[in-house]
Amino acid sequence: MGLPTGKVEYALGTGQVTGCGLSFGAEELDGALAGPVASLVFDDAGKADVAAILESAADTEFGDAAVRRILEDADTVEDWRVGEALAESYITQHRGCCFPWPDSRDERKAGSSLPGADLAGLHQDGDAHRFAFGEVKTSNEGTYPPGTMHGRTGLKQQLEDLRDQVSIRDGLVLYLGYRAKNAEWLDRYRTAAQRYLADRNDVRVFGLLVRDVPPHEDDLRARVAKLGRGCPESMAINLVAMYLPQGSIATLGQRVVGMRNGGGA
């Protein structure tokens, strides 16, 4: 079972930049964790790859003990990873998006300063397609907006970068290009790329905030207003705050591992 549409708590903006708060109940969350989220978090194909990668690492004549120790310990799942998976799952189901590779591989963001986006894929726009890029932050803080909104790696900065820095978008479009070869979504990629090459602002950007506090529009109001200023004409930015049951974020990782190991939520 996927994630339902959620209850609309508030809606902000009307033009290119919109924001909305959606709340989800405990049952709805459980359903999602048992369904698509697990497959996003546990990248089984990726695990098989790890074994092969470790095997070949010895041929580099660099020591492989330390990397082996890290990669062989794969059972810890951090809560924010589940949050990201929930967000991805939501916009895939309800916002016409497709992200052609598992988000769980996007571990790099926490450890490096590489430019990019948590999510990069395609968005269906009527009969046409365009590129969709998304940033996700998961927070159990009690403040509105949460601290993860600000700072060098905060959602605010990331979304502004996606809006303003065409080089980041270029990199993501090219990266999708490598994966599009022989993929079933190749035609959609081409359509989106044609639009993009004619106008590199013609994309949809998602900013997703995963929270476990009572909904409040303060989470997004300032961002909707500010991202709207200077937003290129052809770009659309959608901010979504997903409100999970209170206190649920701290155990997301634990629950998803438990469910996978045969236990209940």
Residues that bind other proteins (CB under 8 A): 46, 49-50, 52-54, 56-57, 59-64, 66-67, 70-71, 73-74, 76, 78, 81, 101, 105-108, 110-112, 114-116, 166, 170-175, 177-178, 181, 190, 193-195, 197-198, 200
Amino acid code (one letter) for 101: W
Query: Among candidates 118, 120, 152, which has minimal Cα distance to 135?
Result: 118
Q: How far is the CB of 183 from other proteins (least distance, A)?
A: 12
Q: Is 2 helix (H, G, I), strand (E, B) or coil?
A: coil
If the CB atoms of residues 24 and 196 are measured against other proteins, the closer one turns out to be 196
Structure tokens at 32: 């999602």
The minimum distance between CB 221 and other proteins, in angstroms, equals 31
For Cα atoms 81, 83, 89, give the angle at the middle one, nearest 5 degrees.
Answer: 105
Q: Which is nearer to other proteins, 70 or 230 (CB)?
A: 70
Nearer to other proteins by Cβ, of 61 and 127: the residue is: 61
Task: Specify the residue, 20 or 168, whose C-beta has the smaller distance to other proteins.
Answer: 168
d(CA 162, CA 117): 8
Name the minimum Å distance from CB 235 to other proteins. Answer: 14
Shortest Å, Cβ 150 to other proteins: 20
Cα separation, 59 vs 63, whole angstroms:
10
The one-letter amino acid at 156: K
Q: How far apart are CA 130 and CA 95, in angstroms?
A: 13
In the complex with other proteins, which residue's Cβ is closer, 11 or 57?
Answer: 57
Minimum distance, C-beta of residue 216 to other proteins, in the bound complex (Å): 29
> For 46-114, what is the HEC assignment?
HHHHHHHHHHHHHHHCCCCHHHHHHHHCCCCCCHHHHHHHHHHHHHHHHCCEECCCCHHHCCHHHHCCC
- Closer to other proteins at the Cβ: 81 or 223? 81
Give the nearest distance from C-beta 31 to other proteins in angstroms: 25
